[in-house]
Structure 1
Amino acid sequence: MSVTPAQPTPAATPGPTTASLPTREQVRRAPKVVLHDHLDGGLRPRTVLELAGEVGHALPADTADDLATWFAEAADSGSLERYLETFAHTVGVMQTAAALTRVARECVEDLVADGVVYAELRWAPEQHTEAGLSLDETVEAVQQGIDEGCAAAGGRIVVRQLLTAMRHAARSSEIADLAIAWRDRGVAGFDIAGAEAGFPPTRHLDAFEKVKRANGHITIHAGEAFGLPSIWEALQWCGADRLGHGVRIVDDITVAEDGTVHLGPLASYVRDKRVPLELAPASNVQTGAAASIAEHPIGLLTDLRFRVTVNTDNRLMSRTSMTDEMADLVEAFGFDLDRLQWFTVNAMKSAFLPFDERLAIIEDVIKPGYAALRAEG
């Protein structure tokens, strides 16, 4: 362990004037990459209403506006467990192939409108078999929706699936097999999600071993509602390539009064190994992982040059988008276009996509897109 001086960056120093910061419209048009976006957390409220009507699912509100408000208020509790309860209504209406295809297609459409050029959509197939679909059929239905959305976008976005196993359940080995079987047909990797406390990732070692032996990619929800032990197990036992959230890594960082920064052994490892952090500021505030956007550890982690990425997590529950997330960071931290590009390139570097495809998106889409915005003055 060592004492490391804080490293000044444009985000940490007395930075650009307000006039030089990107406008919200510029942020919307900026190329964006999202690695942590839950398919069942991003439905349009109108779609939830219509699908619920088709299957007789009871909802807590009967208009799209009221339903949107209910989701946001129910999720805004400061508790991850309460936040997760809202998914009973989205998952409940996503039990048919047609519903899954529609939700996936609309998700792609919404991301394109938000300026996203690459996305990984995570969801848990095991939660969508109540009406008789097989696991394979659920993945096929979602892929059909993604394909339709991408085709309609005319090449403006690339989208992949991440298959998630629920950490409190016992089907992770099946989901690992599913991710491996679909790896060349749209699935980019494997994840586990759900309440962290009491359900450590090491309960699913057999699933992670399967994915690793097949040379697959792993991201694990860790360091959101639970602290350093969850992150340590995800990395050192389970072989995570990325940390889903990972915000609690700040528990291993101490900032002294003189500005020097002390990184503990786990924080040092995460930074040294360039482990990507899938940070989702709005969601982290809702679940109590951060007190506010302005107090979110993303500022410190950015200053220290961790591999920081910006994500939405659940667009419906958090009433957010990639534009919202980045615009909030511009306001809270004074991040300029250079910093937003840095977040975006970080994410693209960390994507579960072949190297040449990642590089092409960085060089042909992201960098030119930000250069055009800077040229506007």
Structure 2
Amino acid sequence: MVDIPKIDLHCHFDGSIPPEVLCDLASSRNIEIPGGSLEGYRLYLKETKNCKSLVEYLERFDFPIAILQDEEAIIKCMEALIENLDKQGLVYCEIRFAPQHHTKQGLSQEDVLKALLQAIKNKKDSCKIHIELICCMMNFGDVILNEKQNWETIDLVEKYLHRGVVLLDIAGAEGKNMLDFEKFFIRAREKNIPFIIHAGEAGDSNNVRLALEFGALRIGHGVRSIENLDVVQELIDTKTPIEVCISSNIDCFVFNLEQHPIKKLKDAGVMITINTDNMMFSNTTLDHEYELLMNGFGITRQELIDFNLNSLHAAACDDVIKQRLSKLF
């Protein structure tokens, strides 16, 4: 374990739950476990690195989402994730989730959020880590498929902003249809809701440019900005942080380790933060990401600290929390 204060700004709830917790809940709810058992599921997760496509990778979400449809399951999974992050030495994490994913058996988006907030409250005294939430809208490939649900997510963030929720986001099938979703960010700006955008992962550098035009405070992934030096320069000029997730990029066929542009982006002056994305699916932790950086790119311990200071600067929590966390560095 790298003994430094650790911050993760890009951690998906449904992709980061400890497998043993999911399998226990699945058994009690008569939900079929991929692989048939906990050990079978662990083998199934290891095979994630052998997925043939991003579509196959995204199918990994079906199992946790099937479980996360009642308040008890949501609370237990969030508590387990918080405990896991705390044991890994994280001092701060922004956990993102799509409320609309968890409404298939009667919960409202607000019910889902309240369950997560309850879990955070339950662990406040026993865990040192500070947790904030990010609510994601979803891109399913066509804006009309879930337009109503995305408007509901914006309203939910407006209601709970600074009450456990710090940002709005959009995740899912990033492609060439970014402009179709601009109207949601226009609404967010009208409501003074701060937002970030997944861009430059499955989609190209133009999506990063559009995300900046829309007003994103940070870019989720953003690594394909390297394809256009003008976009890289815009990231530098606007001091917009990007949320780099190396293991996830490898698993999702964005870049392999040798091709990954993190060093080029860092050396150019882009503000880099290091994150896990989906700990369960990529079988990773922040410490594992740090090992990849040190062994693959010669990143030093001080540079890892600098990345975490970038994350602290980019975090969406209030200044009181930032000041408290800054004393740990």
Shorter-normalised TM-score: what interval? over 0.9
Secondary structure, counterpart of 1:217 in structure 2: coil
Summarize the Cα distance change of 1:305–1:78 in structure 2 as closer, same or farther, 3 Å threshold. farther
1:92 aligns with 2:92: no
Q: Distance in 1 between matches of 2:273 and 2:91?
A: 15
Residue 269 (1) aligns with residue 234 (2): yes
What residue number does 2:143 align with?
none
Secondary structure of the residue aligned to 1:166 is strand
- Alpha carbons 2:219, 2:241 under 8 Å: kept: yes
User: Could you tell me which of 295, 319, 329 is aligned with 1:355?
Assistant: 319
CA contact (8 A) 1:78 1:285 kept: no
Of 135, 146, 160 in structure 1, the residue corresponding to residue 132 of structure 2 is 160
Contact 2:35–2:43 (8 Å) recurs in 1: no
Partner residue, 1:249:
225
Deviation at 1:191, TM superposition (A): 0.6
Taking only aligned residues, the RMSD between alpha carbons, in angstroms, comes to 1.5
Aligned residue in 1 for 2:79: 105
8 Å contact from structure 2 (residues 232, 265) kept in 1 = no
May I ask how many residue pairs the two structures share in their alignment? Answer: 323
Letter in 1 for 2:139: R
TM-score by length of 2: 0.94
Specify which of 237, 248, 254 is matched with residue 283 of structure 1. Answer: 248
| C-alpha distance in 1 between matches for 2:296 and 2:114 | 41
Q: What secondary structure does 1:152 align onto?
A: coil
Whole-Å separation in 1 of the counterparts to 2:200 and 2:50 = 19
CA contact (8 A) 2:135 2:165 kept: yes
- Separation in 2, partners of 1:163, 1:223: 20
- Kindly indicate whether residue 207 of structure 2 is the aligned counterpart of residue 240 of structure 1: no
- Partner of 1:121: helix, strand, or coil? strand
User: Which stretch has the larger CA shift, 133-142 or 224-233?
Assistant: 224-233
Would you say 1:177 and 2:155 are equivalent positions? yes
Mapped to 2, the partners of 1:219 and 1:69 lie a distance apart of 34
Please tell me whether the aligned partners of residues 54 and 252 of structure 2 are also in contact (alpha carbons under 8 angstroms).
Answer: yes
- Counterpart residue identity of residue 134, structure 2: L
Pick aligned residue for 2:166 from 169, 179, 188: 188
Return the match for 1:148 from 110, 114, 122.
122
Kindly indicate whether residue 23 of structure 2 is the aligned counterpart of residue 45 of structure 1: no
Q: What is the CA distance between 1:42 and its match in structure 2? A: 0.7
**Separation (CA, whole Å) in 2 of partners of 1:228 and 1:130:** 34
Give the aligned partner of residue 371 of structure 1.
none
Deviation at 1:211, TM superposition (A): 2.1
Contact 2:136 2:168 in 1 (8 A): yes
- 2: distance between equivalents of 1:100 and 1:201? 30
Structure-1 separation of matches of 2:4 and 2:15: 23
Q: Give the superposition deviation at 1:78.
A: 5.5
CA offsets per residue over residues 6-35 of structure 1, 9 Å max, x none? xxxxxxxxxxxxxxxxxxx3x1x3210000
Query: Is 1:76–1:83's contact at 8 Å kept on the other side of the alignment?
Result: no
Residues 128-148 of structure 1 show CA distances to partners (whole Å, capped at 9, x for unaligned) of 011111111100001111222
Among 52, 55, 73, the alignment partner of 2:47 is: 73
**Given that residues 35 and 278 in structure 1 are in contact (C-alpha distance below 8 angstroms), is that contact kept between their aligned partners in structure 2?**
yes
2: CA distance between counterparts of 1:234 and 1:60?
Answer: 36
Deviates further, 269-278 or 201-210:
201-210
Deviation at 1:62, TM superposition (A): 2.7
| Structure 1 runs of 4+ with >3 Å offset | none
| Offset of residue 327 of structure 1 | 1.7
Deviation at 1:75, TM superposition (A): 5.2
Residues in 2 aligned to 1:265 and 1:298: alpha-carbon distance in whole angstroms = 17
Gaps of 5+ in 2: 141-145
Give the superposition deviation at 1:266. 1.7
What are the ranges of 5 or more consecutive residues in structure 1 without an aligned counterpart?
Answer: 1-24, 253-263, 368-377
Flag the 1:351–1:45 CA change in 2: closer, same or farther, 3 A: same
1:216 aligned onto 2:193: yes
Q: CA deviation at 1:317?
A: 0.4
| 1:255 corresponds to | none
Per mean C-alpha deviation after superposition, the further-off stretch among 334-343 and 351-360 is 351-360
Q: What is the Cα deviation at residue 298 of structure 1? A: 0.9
* Shift, 1:76, TM fit: 3.8
| TM-score calculated relative to the size of structure 1 | 0.82
Q: Does 1:202 align with 2:197?
A: no
Q: By how many angstroms is 1:287 displaced?
A: 0.7
Q: Which amino acid aligns with 1:306?
A: V
Alpha-carbon offset, residue 68 of structure 1: 2.0
Give % identity.
Answer: 29
